[in-house]
Amino acid sequence: MIDSIIGSLSLAKRFPRFAASAAPAAIRRFFEVAGIPIYRWAVQIWPDESGRNPYRLRNQSEMKPFACDVCGCVVYFENTKCLNCGAALAYLPDTGLIASVRSSGTDLWQSGRGLEYRPCLNYRKHDVCNWAVPADDPNLYCISCRLNRIIPDLSVVGNRTAWAKFEAAKRRLNYTLLNLELPVISKSEDSLYGVSYEFKADVPGTSVITGHAGGVITINLGEADDAERERRRLALGEPYRTILGHFRHEIAHYYWDRFFRDDESLCKFRSVFSDERSDYSGALTTYYQNGAREAWDEEFISAYASSHPWEDWAESWAHYLHMTDALETAAGARALFGLPEPDKPSLAITGSETFEQMLNAWLPLSYLLNNLNRSLGLPDAYPFVLSSVAIKKLRFVHECIVKYTTGLRLSQGWPSAGAGTCIGCTLD
Ligand SMILES: [Zn+2]
Ligand SMILES: [Zn+2]
Ligand SMILES: [Zn+2]
């Protein structure tokens, strides 16, 4: 099937440009040694002759890697300062750019692009944010920080550092969500459908559970401690445990509510993930007592995903965001390899066939990521194997996002699932 999709994209015409001339010899060599046809990776990452790319982000005009607009040096998404020329930097969420900013003599900044902004209050006051607020926006906080409902007690030593780690991960999450055109609305703006974050520390006798309930995402501050997070990862037998992974997992539960609660499309969810009405707390207790079910990797993306359909959805959703972010970063990195300057390639979710294209790009990219890590003596960056059933779930997440963000009812237009696959309802 992948071959037929490749064929339909006229890759034979594009292949010579990217593989034979544009891609540096080292990249070509890597793919030759790995036995991966380079066009299957490159053509998904870089645009065609028209300058268009099927992965173009809908909201973005430029992509990572970001660059300082004073000296042109590449900078990270998290930077507040250019390490080459010293310019103060901020991320401008309304443009999707990192830009230099300088004081204009008031509480406003003048951006290097001629627009006025205010630093997010968490930037100015606590140095835990690098986003800006457009001058005409009355909010004191940026679109990411305004989601906070409870922040850590900053009088406790170490809490500000821990909080900064969480906010950096939350901004990266929100960057992806905004670019997927998913709603990012705080509970202070919409008490019913908004989302909020509460950062809490354990107190003697009470441990904080990281989790989601009714649009409130609670984060245990202890997860910012690398040694403690690693201890928990080993204790739970997890191959991967990161702060960003927690955010991507928990927000999945929030969007599940937005997508499916009280919606007839639940029958489609159940046909892919099975019936979420099974005993949730009992399922988690069983999982933590007995571990994952046998041969879980044949059907689930992670061991924890096998605990309950809600967790299966959340793990699949989190992996989907891992894929979109890494693919987008790879797309934006072409300039670092001296490849031709195209019309700002990026990742887009625009058509029913693009999940296949995305997957086609992801498999060799994750292979490359793991090999780069191994070459540096590090553990695999993506220590997972995607079974065909797990891929089916990822495709479902993709299709839900496409439908939701294009205003379609989630229940409409699915391919027939076949008789007997819909559990517990009369639709289909
Ligand atoms: Zn600079
Ligand atoms: Zn902020
Ligand atoms: Zn969960």
Which residues are CB-contacts of 21 (< 8 A; sequence separation ≥ 6)?
A: none
Name the residue type at position 9. Answer: L
**176 occurs within a structural domain:** yes
State whether 159 and 257 are in the same domain.
yes
pTM of the predicted protein model = 0.79
State whether 29 and 77 are in the same domain.
no
State whether 239 and 299 are in the same domain.
no
State whether 294 and 315 are in the same domain.
yes
410 Cα–ligand 2 center, Å: 32
Q: How many structural domains is the chain composed of? A: 3
401 Cα–ligand 1 center, Å: 37
219 Cα–ligand 3 center, Å: 12
186 DSSP 8-state letter: B
State whether 285 and 321 are in the same domain.
yes
State whether 294 and 419 are in the same domain.
yes
Name the residue type at position 147. Answer: L
**277 occurs within a structural domain:** yes
For position 426, what pLDDT does the model report? 37
State whether 314 and 382 are in the same domain.
yes
236 Cα–ligand 3 center, Å: 14
105: left (phi over 0), alpha (psi -120 to 50) or beta: left
**242 occurs within a structural domain:** yes
**330 occurs within a structural domain:** yes
From 234, 261, 288, the end of a domain falls on 261
Which residues are CB-contacts of 231 (< 8 A; sequence separation ≥ 6)?
A: none
Q: Per the structure block, which two tokens stand in for 325?
A: 């972010």
For position 414, what pLDDT does the model report? 54
Beta pairing class for 148-150 and 196-200: parallel
**56 occurs within a structural domain:** no
Which residues are CB-contacts of 360 (< 8 A; sequence separation ≥ 6)?
A: 2, 5, 6, 40, 44
From 110, 142, 174, the end of a domain falls on 142
State whether 269 and 257 are in the same domain.
no
**317 occurs within a structural domain:** yes
Q: Per the structure block, which two tokens stand in for 95?
A: 């443009």
Predicted confidence (pLDDT) per residue in 211-241, tens digit: 999 999 999 999 999 999 999 999 988 999 9
Beta pairing class for 216-220 and 196-200: parallel
Half-sphere exposure of 372 (CA within 13 A, CB side): 10
Nearest by Cα to 179 from 57, 78, 44? 57
Alpha-carbon Rg for the chain, nearest whole angstrom, is 22
Q: Are 58 and 350 in contact (CB under 8 A)?
A: yes
Q: What does the alpha-carbon distance between residue 124 and residue 132 come to, in Å, rounded to a whole number?
A: 10
Q: What does the alpha-carbon distance between residue 338 and residue 187 come to, in Å, rounded to a whole number?
A: 45
State whether 128 and 224 are in the same domain.
no
Length of the chain in residues, anyone? 428
Q: Which ligand is nearest to the CA of 125?
A: 2
142 Cα–ligand 2 center, Å: 4
Report helix, strand or coil for 150: strand
Q: Which domain holds residue 78?
A: 64-142
For position 413, what pLDDT does the model report? 56
Q: What is the DSSP string of 287-314?
A: HHHH-SPTTGGGT-SSTGGGG-HHHHHH
For position 338, what pLDDT does the model report? 62
- Other Cβ atoms closer than 10 A to 93: 23
For position 40, what pLDDT does the model report? 35
159 Cα–ligand 2 center, Å: 17
From 227, 261, 295, the end of a domain falls on 261
Q: Per the structure block, which two tokens stand in for 333?
A: 């990195």
For position 264, what pLDDT does the model report? 67
Which residues are CB-contacts of 326 (< 8 A; sequence separation ≥ 6)?
A: 362, 365, 366, 369, 382
Nearest by Cα to 45 from 367, 333, 368? 333
**55 occurs within a structural domain:** no
Beta pairing class for 216-220 and 74-75: unpaired
Across the chain, which has 428 residues, the per-10-residue mean pLDDT values are: 34 29 43 44 36 35 71 91 94 90 84 87 96 94 97 96 97 93 93 95 92 96 93 90 96 93 78 93 95 93 96 97 89 66 47 74 89 91 93 92 77 48 39
State whether 190 and 304 are in the same domain.
no
75 Cα–ligand 1 center, Å: 8
196 Cα–ligand 2 center, Å: 14
Half-sphere exposure of 89 (CA within 13 A, CB side): 26
Name the residue type at position 95. Answer: T
Q: Are 243 and 225 in contact (CB under 8 A)?
A: no
Q: What is the DSSP string of 19-34?
A: IIIIS-HHHHHHHHHH
250 Cα–ligand 3 center, Å: 6
**423 occurs within a structural domain:** yes
Q: Are 228 and 222 in contact (CB under 8 A)?
A: yes
State whether 251 and 330 are in the same domain.
no
State whether 422 and 305 are in the same domain.
yes
Q: What does the alpha-carbon distance between residue 322 and residue 319 come to, in Å, rounded to a whole number?
A: 5
Report helix, strand or coil for 279: coil
